[in-house]
Amino acid sequence: MRVFYFVLSTLSVMALAFWAYQENYRTQQSIDEIEALQREIAEMRATLAMLRAEWAYLNRPERLASLVEMNFDQLGLMPLRPEQFGLIRQVSYPVPELPVISMPVDAVGRLEQQP
């Protein structure tokens, strides 16, 4: 019986060692994936910073003013004046269409009055 327990404990230690070995490889793989994602995030942040800098460079007021002057014949852009702005109540919003009732339903019940 003693030999049986010895063999059983040896097999369980081997099984646990195999499980720990597999978990170690899964953990290492997860760490590698996380590091790859962090590198990708860092690259995207650097790209975003570069794009924001380019956007700021392209939207410089003096550059836009020179483009407006160069293309005035085609665009006819003029500076905005306060008289050009309107009030919100002057905006006409579209009236939403009511849904069509395709299958009318008879409702039977009693309305109770609230005190």
Give the domain extent around 20: 8-77
pLDDT tens digits, one per residue of 84-106: 888 888 888 888 888 888 887 77
- Please report whether residue 34 resides in a domain: yes
- Please report whether residue 94 resides in a domain: no
How many structural domains are present in the chain?
Answer: 1
Q: What pLDDT sits at residue 103?
A: 82
- Please report whether residue 3 resides in a domain: no
- Please report whether residue 88 resides in a domain: no
CB 68 within 8 Å of CB 77: yes
CB 31 within 8 Å of CB 38: no
Q: What pLDDT sits at residue 112?
A: 72
- Please report whether residue 29 resides in a domain: yes
CA–CA dist 113, 115 (Å, integer): 6
Q: What pLDDT sits at residue 50?
A: 98
CB 10 within 8 Å of CB 2: no
pLDDT tens digits, one per residue of 24-63: 999 999 999 999 999 999 999 999 999 999 999 999 999 9
